[in-house]
A and B are shown apart, each in its own frame.
Chain A
C-alpha cells in the first residue's frame, strides 16, 4: 500500500520531468513565457512527489516491510530505528532515489529565485535539471526499483515483481539481511548524504553554464548567479570526503584514513575540478580571462559527479573483475558521453564569442599564478583518472590487466601538493595584472624569514626527513603569509581609528570571499600538517602480551590489563580488552580496544581503542586473544603523530567556506561594481 504510493510518486515525477523538458524547449522555441512557466511548475512539483516517494520508502524501512526486496536486503530486525531510516541510502536503489530527491529539491529551490534578470536562462536551466533528474528516475524506475516486492509461486520459487503476478502469493522473509556492521558508524551514516549533496549541487552551476552557452551570453552572469551554489556544493563534497576518511580511520583498523581506493578517488575527482573552478572563476570576474576554461571545468565537474555517483554505489571499479555487472553501467556511460559531447559541442560553437579581450602579460601576476594553480589541480585530476582507468586501458592495449596502487598516486601527486602549498603562500601577495620579482620579494621576505626560523627550530628538535621538513616549512610559510595578510588589512583599518579586534572583524565581514578563502587555506595547511605527521612519523608495533606485559612504540607503552567477553542486546558478542596507556612510564589512561562479532551476519568487527591528543594519537587494535581465560592477547599499536590536525583543519576549512559563502549585505554594491567593470571601466585598486 505505502509502497504503491511511493511508486506512484516516482512514476509521476518521472513523467513530469519529461514533460518539463519538453515544455521548456517548446516554450523557448515558441517564445512563450506560459510554456516556460508550466515547465517551472513541473519542476516545482517533482519535489513533493519525490518527497512522498522517499518518505514511503523510509516508512517501509522503519516498518520492516520485508516483502519489499530492498527493505529485506538492507535492514534487519536487530537494527535500531535510525539505522533503518538511513538505510534509504544503504543500497543502490535507495541511493539513486535519494539522489533524485535531492536533485528535485535543488531544482525546485532554483526555480524559487528571482528570475527577472535572467529570463532567457530559465528554460535551459530547467532542461538541464530535469533531464538529469529524468535520467536518474529512469534508472530507478526501470532498473533499480526500490519498491519491487517478493512473490512466491505454487512451486515455491521466489521472484520479484512490482505487482502480484497471477497465481503467486506475497513472500515475506522472516528477517532481512541487515546493513553490513562495518557501515554502522555515525560517520558512515552521514557521509553518503554529504557527498550526494555536494554532487547534486554541482548540477546547478552546470545548468547555468549550459544556459549561458545556449543563449550566447558571454559575460560572467552565470558564474555570479551560481557562486554560492558552487561554494555550498564544494563544502558538502569536502565534508563528505572528510567524514569518509574519519570513518576509515575509526572503523577499518589499519591506522590510516585514505587508501587511494578507486571509489574514494571517484568522489575526489569532482572535488579537484570544483576546487580549480572556484579559483579560476575569480579571474573571470576580475579580469574577464579564462572564459572557455571555466566552462570546461564546470562541464567536467558535472560529468565527474555523474561518474562518481555511479562508481561509489555500483561497485564497478572496486570490483576489478565485474565491469558493468548490472544493466545501468552502460547506460551511465551513455549518459556521460552524450552530456559531455553536447556540452563540448556547445562550447566549441561559442568559442569565438568567448575569447577574452585582455591578455595575461606577467608570469608573476596573480592571474598567472591562478592559472598555475588550475594547472596543478587538473594535473592531479589526470593522475587520478589515469590510475583509475589504468587496469581497463592496459587490458585493452595489452590483453593483460595492470593496476597501480597507492604508491603511484602518492609519488605522482606529492610534488604537486607541495607546489600548491607554495602557491598558497605566493599568490595572495602577488598583484593583479603585473608583479615583478622585486615587488613580490618585498612582500614575501618577512614571512619567508619567519618560516625559515620555524624550519630551523624543527631541525634542531630532531626532525631530519627532508620531505617532512620541506612540507612543514611550507605549512609554516603559508600560515605566516596568511596571518600577515590579515594583520596588514586590519592595520590599514586601524589607521582609521578602529581597535584591532573590530578592525579584523570588519575586514573579514567586508571581504568575506577573500578572507573566507584565506581561512580555508589555513584549514588546508592544518590538514597538510596532519598528513605529514602520519605519513612521515607513524610508528607501529605488534605483539602478544600476557596480563601485565607491555608493548612500546615511540614514547608510548601499552599494558594488557584484562579481557571480558559479553553479549550485547543487539546481537553482538563483544570481546573487550582493558589496556593501560603510559607515556614515558607515566600512566595516561585506559583504553578499550574490542572486537564485536555480529551473530546474525557472522561478521567480526574490530574497533580500535583511541587516545587522541593534539600531538599524537595512540591507536590500539585487539587482534586476537586466548579464548575463555584471556590469559594473553595480541595487540597491534599505532602511534600517529599530529593526525588530530586533519580533523581540526577540516573544521577550520568549513568555517572558512561558510564565511566565504555567507550572504553579503554589500552584494548589490559588488554587482554594480562588477557591471561597470564588465563595461570596460578601469579597475579600482584593491
Chain B
C-alpha cells in the first residue's frame, strides 16, 4: 500500500481557523489551570539551615523541610494525637550526600553531630510506622512564631533500598 499525497490541505480555510481558535481557547484554559494551581500548591523546599537562615522572614509561609529524625526526641500524646520530634540538618546537595557515603550514612552522620542546626516539628495525626531514629523526615507546613515547625504533612523514608520505593506514609 502506498502513501497518499496531501490533496485538500489548502482548501477549507474557515474550517482550519475554527479548530485553531478552539484549540487556542482550550490551551489557554489549561495554561491558566497550571499557573493557578502552581500558585496554590507550590512550596519552597528547604534544608533546616536554609530555613533558619531566613529567620523571621520564613514565619507563616508554606514550606517543605527535610532532615534526619532524632530518635530520643520523639514524643507522642495519644490524647491529642500530637506528635513532636526534632530533625537535624542534612545537606541537600547530592554531591555532599555522596561525600558522606550515601543517604543512609549522611543521616547517621547528621544525628550524631551535635553542632548541626535542629528544628522541632509538631504534627497532629497518626504516628507513622516509619518514624524512627535516623530516618529522613520530609515535612510540609509552616514555621510558627515560637520557632516550632507546624507540619500538616509528614513523609518518611528509611534509606534502605526496599523502603525507598515506599510512597508517602501520612497525610493530613
Contacts and interface: CB of A to CB of B under 8 A. Distances in A.
A and B: bona fide binding partners:
yes
Interface of A: 73-74, 90-92, 177, 179-180, 182-183, 216-219, 221, 248, 252-254, 256, 259, 261, 263-264, 312-313, 315, 318-325, 352-361, 363, 368, 372, 375, 379, 382-383, 386, 390-391, 400-409, 411-412, 415-416, 542, 544, 602-606, 621, 623-625, 634, 636, 675, 678
23 contacts: A253-B126, A253-B169, A254-B172, A263-B165, A312-B165, A313-B165, A318-B166, A325-B98, A358-B8, A359-B11, A359-B12, A363-B18, A363-B19, A400-B44, A401-B46, A404-B41, A404-B43, A407-B37, A411-B40, A412-B36, A412-B38, A544-B79, A624-B76
Contacts of A92: 161
A74 B34 CA distance: 41
A605 B161 contact: no
Interface string B138-153: 1010000000000001
A321 B94 contact: yes
B112 interface: no
Nearest to A74: B162
Contacts, number: 208
A350 B169 CA distance: 48
Nearest to A621: B126
Given A357-B6, A606-B129, 17 more contacts: A91-B161, A177-B162, A254-B171, A254-B172, A259-B167, A259-B168, A315-B161, A315-B165, A355-B6, A382-B30, A400-B44, A405-B140, A411-B36, A411-B40, A412-B37, A415-B33, A603-B129
A408 B125 CA distance: 22
Nearest to A356: B6
A600 to B, nearest CB: 13
Interface in B1-39: 1, 3-9, 11-12, 15-16, 18-19, 22-23, 26, 29-30, 33-34, 36-38
B127 interface: yes
Given A217-B1, A412-B37, A402 B162 contact: no
Interface residues of B, number: 69
A179 B165 CA distance: 12
Contacts of B118: none
Nearest to A315: B164
B60 interface: no
The 5 closest A-B pairs by CB, nearest first: A408-B41, A315-B164, A218-B3, A412-B37, A401-B45
Nearest to A93: B161
B171 A256 contact: yes
A623 B18 contact: no
A402 B42 contact: yes
B66 interface: yes
A360 B3 contact: no
Contacts of A361: 12, 15
Interface of B: 1, 3-9, 11-12, 15-16, 18-19, 22-23, 26, 29-30, 33-34, 36-38, 40-46, 64, 66, 76, 78-79, 81, 90-94, 97-98, 102-103, 125-127, 129-130, 132, 138, 140, 153, 157, 160-172
Contacts of B93: 321
A618 to B, nearest CB: 16
B91 to A, nearest CB: 8
A634 B78 contact: yes
B132 to A, nearest CB: 7
Contacts of A219: 1, 3
Nearest to A324: B94
B108 to A, nearest CB: 15
Given A383-B33, A408-B42, A401 B165 contact: no
B44 A325 contact: no
A179 B37 contact: no
A634 B169 contact: no
B167 A363 contact: no
Interface centre among A352, A356, A404, A636 (most CB of B within 10 A): A404
B129 A319 contact: no
Contacts of B98: 325
A359 B45 contact: no
Nearest to B79: A544
Contact of B163 (A180, A323, A401): A180
A407 B40 contact: yes
A675 B1 CA distance: 9
Contact of B167 (A252, A382, A678): A252
A391 B18 CA distance: 38
A318 B126 contact: no
A261 B94 contact: no
Nearest to A352: B6
Contacts of A400: 44-45
A248 B7 CA distance: 54
Contacts of B162: 73-74, 90-91, 177, 179-180, 183
Given A216-B3, A254-B171, A416-B33, A542 B165 contact: no
Contacts of B127: 623-624
A259 B33 contact: no
Contacts of B42: 390, 402-404, 408
A357 B81 contact: no
A579 to B, nearest CB: 16
A556 to B, nearest CB: 19
Given A318-B157, A357-B7, A182 B166 contact: yes
A391 B170 contact: no
A452 B139 CA distance: 44
A259 B171 contact: yes
A298 B64 CA distance: 36
A383 B35 CA distance: 10
Contacts of B163: 180, 182
Contacts of B138: 320
B162 to A, nearest CB: 5
A236 to B, nearest CB: 19
A318 B4 CA distance: 48
A624 B37 contact: no
Nearest to B96: A321
A412 B94 contact: no
A367 to B, nearest CB: 11
B22 to A, nearest CB: 6
B138 to A, nearest CB: 7
Contacts of A404: 37-38, 41-43
A356 B5 CA distance: 8
Contact of A636 (B26, B33, B45, B81): B81
Contacts of B64: 403, 405
Given A542-B81, A634-B78, A252 B43 contact: no
Contacts of B43: 402-405
Given A248-B167, A254-B169, A407-B40, A321 B9 contact: no
Contact of B129 (A248, A321, A382, A605): A605
Contacts of A357: 4-8
A475 B35 CA distance: 28
Nearest to B3: A218
B81 A634 contact: yes
A73 B6 CA distance: 60
A416 B31 CA distance: 12
